[in-house]
Amino acid sequence: MLRRLGGLELAAVTGAVMAARLGRVPVVLDGFGSTAAAAVLYAADRHALDHCVVGHVSAEPGHRRLVERIGQRPIFDLGMRLGEGSGATLALAVLKAAAACHNGMDRAKPVPLPHSPICSSAPRRRASWKANRKAKALSVT
């Protein structure tokens, strides 16, 4: 039925999103078409899109309502209508930067603030973090 109502392209996107879910691969939905294809899975199971994020809400009529309907919040709301994955490209860069910040944080030590006396030791801690990481990598191999 999906290929009849939405076309083969939307059926393929729906299948790819479902396969990504089964393979535990995160998905960045880009634009109205991919969100509509993914919404079919959401209609079947409210948790079917737990591995997805909406890269941006487009200027296409109805896209904002659809994003809200599937319980998502877009990373960007820039009114773009460019296509070719432009929203996902921007969102992916932000997601990579957020992951790098999260993974690079030393949760055992306080975060240095500009007015904090430990701010001057921040570069030294970064260097020791790299040395510790290199030592761990050498001990594993």
Question: Would you please indicate which residues are annotated as catalytic (active-site) residues?
Answer: 84
What does R_g of the chain's alpha carbons equal in angstroms?
Answer: 21
| Helix or strand (DSSP H, E) at 16 | helix 8-22
Query: How far from 85 is each of 41, 44, 66, 105, CA to CA, in Å?
Result: 21, 26, 18, 30
